Chains A and B, each alone.
Chain A
Amino acid sequence: MLNRLLPHPTAPVEKASSVRERQVARNLPFRVRWRRDWQMVVLMIPGVVFLLLFFYVPILGNLVAFQDFQPYLGIMHSEWNGVQNFVNLYANPDFWDALRNTLILALAQLVLFFPVPLALALIVDSLVSNRIRRAFQTIAYLPHFLSWVLVIALFQQSLGGAGFVNNLLRQAGFDPIPFMTNPDTFPLLVVGQLVWKDAGWAMIIFLAALSSVDVALYEAAAADGAGRWRRLWHITLPSMRTVIVLLLILRIGDVLSVGFEQFILQRDSVGPGAAEVLDTFTYYAGVVGGDWSSGAAAGLAKGVISALLLWGANSIAHRLGEPGIFQKRGQS
């Protein structure tokens, strides 16, 4: 939003291009750009070195997806087997189950989890007392720092078959409710755990965005007699549109990584029929089953689907006039 409000410099580029803030840079000869930008290039070096060392070189390891990889032979000496691993994957019903579960759970998270931190942030932002506000934030952020092992242990303790709630139900003469073991309601359980653990923490970015909404707009709106809900609808939400869209895109790109630990810890209680997701599938095939190549193939398939989703979401955002993650300064 902000950069849309900024005046566009209109002075011609040719004038003192090495001094002025960069606008249209594409047409300049390399040498001019280098002289102008070399410090920026220097600043990129650490990051680029990191990316090469810890991402791009190791990612070549994904080539094992096209091999019959054996750790004792290494990547150099394992046999190549073309797309055989992908063919096997395609023919494996467990893979499709895992994909289906992943999508169901991702959708549940997107629809049910995503709005919660936004709603919480709106409520917290509307609090007038700073003390209450701070106290709530302090509490709400805390669970983010607990590990999944512990979160699930706590859920087990309260909602499990022998947990607190079900013991109360039993004493009251009711049948226990299988919160933790019913595969049909598993997506709800997963979202519930996610809300408990991360909704508070996810507020941070929304709160940050809220605090930047131009106060003058509220004042003007209030003076015009706009009520609470109208202000929310016409000022608050539009002001936050960019951040909401950005987070949504990131979330969609990450949609196939629904959370590894959370599922592997609960796979036994609800069964793989509901809790096997792509990441656990990769783990069981690759590490537990010792079939590293199948694992890598599933991982690669996941990456490709994620890329498509991310690209798609970003395009839609662009079409709607949002910058998305490929925001270009010159555009807006």
Chain B
Amino acid sequence: MSGFTESRVGRRRFLGLTGAVAGAAAFGPMLTSCGDGGAQGGGAKASGELKLPTYRPFEGFQPDLPGAESGLEPGFLRFPENAIASVQAAPLKNSVSALTETFATPPPPMGSNPMWQALNAALGAELRLTIGTDPGYPEKFATLLASDSLPDLMWLPPNQGIPNIGPMLEAKFQDLTTYLSGDAVLEYPNLAALKPASWRTAVVNGKIWGAPIPSTPFGQVMMGNPKTWAKVGGLQCETADEFFAKCKELSQGTNYALEPAIINMLHMFGEWFGAPTGWRVNQDRSLTHLYETDNYKAAVEYAAKLWAAKVFYPDLNLADATPKTVNGQIAAQVVVGPRATADFRALDPTLFVDTLIPFGHDGKAKPIYDMGYGTVGFTPFKKTDEGRIRELLALMNYLSAPFGTKEFLQKNFGTEGAQYKLDGQKNPVFTPAGTQQGPGLVSALQIMTAPESVIFNPAFPDDTKKIHATEQELLKIAMRNPTAGTYSDTSSKVGPKLTAAFRDTIVDIVTGRQKIDAYDEALRRWKSGGGDKMRGEFEAVLPASVPVTGS
């Protein structure tokens, strides 16, 4: 009977991924606490020797707003005219099977889905997707893995608790290092256009296992409905006390200030209190975990204070706060990345929500903005021969075609006149047929392959400008998880379990079911259960390039 499972767990956990559907994928902070990708055991050395694929950005189009190495996403005000081809020939001769997941409604099956068939025609052979759904993907992944009849490609999510990634990859999947490392990648120009930061998440044990799947590099942000916040002078605050007072004023009758996603809210408060992204790097290059910092503990106490003041929406079971934020019942909620404004536009086209820029809790301390994981993992290949590997790489190259190319259009919008048409500004929009055939398929494809992300809101070009500006604001105080791209055996094995147990306790504390004293006990269990071991493993492989963030 499992599998009724985590209706809510799933949603929360995939808060980021849901956005992937709209072409805006990102991961929450879930990942920041448990490393993925990287090296096991002697992997530190191996990682050092590995040459990441040469980065050669795609230069077909000039974005209206430039991107940057820092993670700033390029913005397009409208879809580039005269899409160009980035791939010379159809990549496939034989059909390919793949396991992926959709975060939209599952699409009509291949046999009755003209958009899918058109994609197959463009690819040269059938792309047979097995499309999992949330919840249920880890079960599906594990059962397929154990069944020994793997599909050619299997999307490997970094945050759904799939353990022991290192040995698993070695046992069942193809090492692609020789095909992708250094200049070898140039044979696949669209893969060469993926950034080194993205590639790092596809490296385990010093080897490359697949093409990474970039999403927005930005982490969670708090967004609020400006109409609601206007009553108290706006969403932006200078101090935590000011925020507290505003929340209290907004919580009246059946209206509440904050959505009841405690862990996510806590993540925001932690930023104001200067809690690090995942781990803090001390002067002596030792690591301190987020949970071990006084900053995070202070944030927990602050959250408990807010809870006691009854400013959280009282139903913890609320699956999706977006409609309530739109109609004003909830004033603010946590979403992934500044691009998430589109989710609110979808419900109310007149609404552009505000994004809260993190501030120091006392008006003086330096806030920290947590960048996200940057990708939704990678898609490894089943062990096979060179000819097949090249064919599969060509497929990944096709499906990773950058924004604005013909292949991008084919993958995301289908065929002009059938699944999409051009609106007044020459932007592609789905036709009714496309709406039916497209979203489920596009979501499934996006989750297993993607180009570097861009900001693009065809109906609201102004949004693109504002989001681009917000991103620059956030980047000023941004911090990345120092362990990103490295690998700890213990973290891979028990990390998810430890995190879940710790979170259970802090939710208890915030909601008043336990006293703050329980924090230290939970921390002790986290450390002895594997936290200390994890720290040691991460410290051993901490790249020299990671800056000190100690306070």
Direct contact, A vs B (beta carbon within 8 Å): yes
Chain A contact residues, CB within 8 Å of chain B: 70-75, 94, 148-149, 152, 156, 160-163, 166-167, 170, 176, 178, 180-181, 183, 257, 260-261, 264-266, 268-269, 271-273, 279, 282-285, 287-292
Q: Is B1 an interface residue (CB 8 A)?
A: yes
Contact of B1 among A75, A166, A260 (CB under 8 A): A260
Asked if A163 contacts B161 (CB within 8 A), the reply is no
- A71-B146, A181-B314 known; A167+B254 contact, CB < 8 A: yes
Bound-state CA distance A3–B148 (Å) is 53
Contact of B161 among A72, A162, A180, A290 (CB under 8 A): A290
User: For A70, what are the chain B residues with a Cβ–Cβ distance below 8 Å?
Assistant: 163-164, 167-168
User: For B315, what are the chain A residues with a Cβ–Cβ distance below 8 Å?
Assistant: 156, 160-163, 180, 269
Bound-state CA distance A292–B168 (Å) is 15
Asked if B162 contacts A290 (CB within 8 A), the reply is yes
User: For A163, what are the chain B residues with a Cβ–Cβ distance below 8 Å?
Assistant: 315
Q: Is B6 an interface residue (CB 8 A)?
A: yes
Interface size on B, residues (CB 8 A): 45
Asked if B172 contacts A160 (CB within 8 A), the reply is no
User: For B500, what are the chain A residues with a Cβ–Cβ distance below 8 Å?
Assistant: 284, 288-289
Q: Tell me how far the C-beta of B59 lies from the nearest C-beta in chain A, rounded to whole angstroms.
A: 40
A160-B317, A260-B2, A264-B9 known; 9 new pairs, CB 8 Å cut-off, are A71-B142, A72-B167, A149-B7, A181-B511, A271-B504, A271-B507, A288-B138, A290-B163, A291-B163
Q: Mark B490-519, 1 if CB is under 8 A from A, else 0.
A: 000110110011001001100101100000
Asked if B496 contacts A161 (CB within 8 A), the reply is no
Q: Is B139 an interface residue (CB 8 A)?
A: yes
Asked if A287 contacts B139 (CB within 8 A), the reply is yes
B313 and chain A: residue at smallest CB distance: A162
Asked if B316 contacts A181 (CB within 8 A), the reply is yes
Q: Tell me how far the C-beta of B36 lies from the nearest C-beta in chain A, rounded to whole angstroms.
A: 13
A161 and chain B: residue at smallest CB distance: B314
- A160-B314, A271-B504, A285-B497 known; A264+B168 contact, CB < 8 A: no
Q: Would you list which residues of chain B between 122 and 150 have a CB under 8 Å from chain A?
A: 138-139, 141-143, 145-146, 148
A147 and chain B: residue at smallest CB distance: B4
Bound-state CA distance A283–B139 (Å) is 11
B141 and chain A: residue at smallest CB distance: A71
User: For B2, what are the chain A residues with a Cβ–Cβ distance below 8 Å?
Assistant: 260, 279, 282-283, 287
* 18 A–B contacts, CB within 8 A, in A order: A70-B163, A71-B146, A72-B145, A73-B171, A148-B4, A161-B313, A170-B253, A180-B315, A183-B513, A264-B6, A268-B316, A268-B507, A283-B2, A284-B497, A288-B9, A289-B497, A290-B163, A291-B497
B319 and chain A: residue at smallest CB distance: A153
User: For A73, what are the chain B residues with a Cβ–Cβ distance below 8 Å?
Assistant: 171
A272 and chain B: residue at smallest CB distance: B504
User: For B507, what are the chain A residues with a Cβ–Cβ distance below 8 Å?
Assistant: 268, 271
Contact of B496 among A74, A167, A183, A288 (CB under 8 A): A288
User: For B171, what are the chain A residues with a Cβ–Cβ distance below 8 Å?
Assistant: 72-73
Q: Tell me how far the C-beta of B105 lies from the nearest C-beta in chain A, rounded to whole angstroms.
A: 17
A178 and chain B: residue at smallest CB distance: B314
User: For B329, what are the chain A residues with a Cβ–Cβ distance below 8 Å?
Assistant: 162
Bound-state CA distance A314–B202 (Å) is 57
Contact of A149 among B4, B494, B496 (CB under 8 A): B4
- Most chain A Cβ neighbours within 10 Å, of B139, B317, B504: B317
Q: Is B45 an interface residue (CB 8 A)?
A: no
User: For B253, what are the chain A residues with a Cβ–Cβ distance below 8 Å?
Assistant: 170
Q: Tell me how far the C-beta of A258 lies from the nearest C-beta in chain B, rounded to whole angstroms.
A: 11
Asked if A94 contacts B172 (CB within 8 A), the reply is no
B498 and chain A: residue at smallest CB distance: A289
User: For A282, what are the chain B residues with a Cβ–Cβ distance below 8 Å?
Assistant: 2
A171 and chain B: residue at smallest CB distance: B253
Q: Would you list which residues of chain B between 278 and 329 have a CB under 8 Å from chain A?
A: 313-317, 329
Q: Is B426 an interface residue (CB 8 A)?
A: no
Asked if B7 contacts A265 (CB within 8 A), the reply is yes
Q: Is B435 an interface residue (CB 8 A)?
A: no
Asked if A180 contacts B138 (CB within 8 A), the reply is no
B145 and chain A: residue at smallest CB distance: A71
Q: Is B524 an interface residue (CB 8 A)?
A: no
9 nearest CB pairs, A to B: A161-B314, A290-B163, A261-B4, A289-B497, A269-B316, A72-B168, A71-B142, A71-B146, A160-B315
Bound-state CA distance A70–B169 (Å) is 12
- A181-B314, A271-B513, A273-B508 known; A290+B4 contact, CB < 8 A: no
Asked if B142 contacts A273 (CB within 8 A), the reply is no
A70 and chain B: residue at smallest CB distance: B164
Bound-state CA distance A259–B270 (Å) is 36
Q: Is B8 an interface residue (CB 8 A)?
A: yes
Q: Tell me how far the C-beta of A274 lies from the nearest C-beta in chain B, rounded to whole angstroms.
A: 9
User: For B313, what are the chain A residues with a Cβ–Cβ distance below 8 Å?
Assistant: 161-162
Contact of A260 among B4, B145, B146, B314 (CB under 8 A): B4
Q: Would you list which residues of chain B between 420 and 474 have a CB under 8 Å from chain A?
A: none
User: For B384, what are the chain A residues with a Cβ–Cβ distance below 8 Å?
Assistant: none
Bound-state CA distance A316–B4 (Å) is 36
B138 and chain A: residue at smallest CB distance: A287
Contact of A283 among B5, B148, B496, B508 (CB under 8 A): B5
Q: Tell me how far the C-beta of A155 lies from the nearest C-beta in chain B, rounded to whole angstroms.
A: 9
User: For A289, what are the chain B residues with a Cβ–Cβ distance below 8 Å?
Assistant: 161, 163, 494, 496-497, 500
Q: Tell me how far the C-beta of A157 lies from the nearest C-beta in chain B, rounded to whole angstroms.
A: 9
Bound-state CA distance A261–B313 (Å) is 23
User: For A181, what are the chain B residues with a Cβ–Cβ distance below 8 Å?
Assistant: 314, 316, 511
- A284-B500, A291-B497 known; A265+B513 contact, CB < 8 A: no
- A161-B314, A166-B314 known; A74+B146 contact, CB < 8 A: yes
- A72-B167, A72-B172, A287-B139 known; A269+B496 contact, CB < 8 A: no
Q: Tell me how far the C-beta of A184 lies from the nearest C-beta in chain B, rounded to whole angstroms.
A: 10
Asked if B161 contacts A288 (CB within 8 A), the reply is yes
Q: Tell me how far the C-beta of B495 lies from the nearest C-beta in chain A, rounded to whole angstroms.
A: 9
Bound-state CA distance A278–B4 (Å) is 15
User: For A183, what are the chain B residues with a Cβ–Cβ distance below 8 Å?
Assistant: 513
Bound-state CA distance A154–B283 (Å) is 54
Q: Tell me how far the C-beta of B499 lies from the nearest C-beta in chain A, rounded to whole angstroms.
A: 10
Bound-state CA distance A152–B4 (Å) is 13
User: For B162, what are the chain A residues with a Cβ–Cβ distance below 8 Å?
Assistant: 290
User: For B504, what are the chain A residues with a Cβ–Cβ distance below 8 Å?
Assistant: 271-272
Bound-state CA distance A71–B142 (Å) is 6
User: For B514, what are the chain A residues with a Cβ–Cβ distance below 8 Å?
Assistant: 273
Asked if A279 contacts B1 (CB within 8 A), the reply is yes
- Most chain B Cβ neighbours within 10 Å, of A74, A161, A261: A161
Bound-state CA distance A185–B95 (Å) is 57
Asked if A273 contacts B513 (CB within 8 A), the reply is yes
A288 and chain B: residue at smallest CB distance: B161
Q: Tell me how far the C-beta of B344 lies from the nearest C-beta in chain A, rounded to whole angstroms.
A: 20
B324 and chain A: residue at smallest CB distance: A162
Q: Tell me how far the C-beta of A163 lies from the nearest C-beta in chain B, rounded to whole angstroms.
A: 7
User: For B254, what are the chain A residues with a Cβ–Cβ distance below 8 Å?
Assistant: 162, 167, 170
Q: Tell me how far the C-beta of A180 lies from the nearest C-beta in chain B, rounded to whole angstroms.
A: 7
